[in-house]
Structure 1
């Protein structure tokens, strides 16, 4: 088990600006959970003669050239991701049912959207898009594993904390930093979801927002 992840100062500053609350909390990722990512990224890659090499849940080491399937370096992957988010952050599609499910859950839960956004400079664009799609919850931008940020968001809350994210790395980090959390691994893309074997700390693996809402509503 990895060590608990420290929260970055710039993330802690965002968390400190949120209204104080002791309510039960849902910490929800954005990409591939609330907004589609893989379908947009696949289009971006195809336009540049690049492809996913398989449906394993990672980006570095999993993107290659279409002609010879040679693997892109980590630096090239990072550059493409920065360019991709600059190009798409204003126009990502909503995952079906995310707006309705989160709206219903917000009657009994606080909701914070915790997203890893390279550079953080697209945060206003992302907030505007989410608001226009009926997902008007606070957005906190993070970098790296999310355990420290989730633990900081959960501080001083008496009720349960639910963490929803697609990334196995983030779920492992949250397990180390806040093992009491309920962990839902949500992957909208069926191919990547079916290729994912959930770790023991995952309470639900899903790509369906109705199933997610029903599962959370049953938490006492």
Structure 2
């Protein structure tokens, strides 16, 4: 991995005194699938989601052929380099997270190479998400376990990827892991959410689950 746990900092967030809501960014706070499709089309490619993966689902518009995984990775890197021009937040995401600050601290945990962190921070702040941000390629459960040496009174983790939810509950069994799948088509392709993770189809449902978990943890 390019980043080390010793290099990961959550800005000045003091973990352990208040409930903590940890939130993924792509396809949770910021739209990813729709803008990535638009980015690919502008660059001569097309995303056709037949499975819950980018690899194997990107095609050349010129030839109609599936492109290799290495080229998909290169296009994803180019997209993140240009993310400030393409990505927009989901409706109500900011309002929901801001509203939760009356009962919890909020931390954004994005799965991307740390070199993209400052561009992502600018994009988020431009859209009103002025929360601490960690960008890392490490397993999210490992990251949160290291950060939460002093355990918060309640921990909630939100992510569109079930394997990230599993990673967190494996390292921190007391956490509530919410598998947030906002887009209907995306949700239909996703692996079925299984306990201890719970599924939410939008921010309204996620907020209800978060507030209930924190209330029950008091």
Q: TM-score range by the shorter chain?
A: 0.7 to 0.9
Unaligned runs of 5+ in 2: none
Given that 1:56 and 1:195 are in contact with CA atoms closer than 8 Å, whether structure 2 keeps it comes out as yes
How many residue pairs are counted as aligned between the two chains? 213
Partner of 1:85: 80
Match of 1:45 in 2: 40
**Cα distance in 1 for residues equivalent to 2:9 and 2:99:** 23
How far apart are 1:180 and its partner, in Å?
2.2
Matched, 1:139 2:133: yes
Q: Output aligned runs, 1:10-159, within 5 Å.
A: 10-15=4-9, 18-22=12-16, 23-66=18-61, 69-118=64-113, 120-159=114-153
User: Could you say which residue in structure 2 is the equivalent of 1:3?
Assistant: none
1:8 and 1:124, CA in 2 relative to 1: closer, same or farther beyond 3 A?
closer
Give per-residue Cα distances to partners, 1:91-146, cap 9 Å, x unaligned.
4111010011001111111111000123x223122212212222110000110431
Deviates more, 1:178-187 or 1:15-24: 15-24
Taking structure 1 as the reference length, the TM-score comes to: 0.86
1:16-40 CA distances to partner (integer Å, 9 max, x unpaired)?
A: 7533331211110011000001110
2: CA distance between counterparts of 1:202 and 1:91?
34
TM-score (norm: length of structure 2)? 0.86
Decide whether the 8 Å contact of 2:3 with 2:137 is kept in 1: no
For residues 90 and 11 of structure 2, the distance between their equivalents in structure 1, rounded to whole angstroms, comes to 28
Measured on the aligned residues, the alpha-carbon RMSD in Å equals: 2.3
Kept in 1: contact 2:11–2:132 (CA 8 A): no
Structure number with higher relative contact order (C-alpha < 8 Å, ≥ 6 residues apart): 1
Give the unaligned 5+ runs of structure 1. 1-6
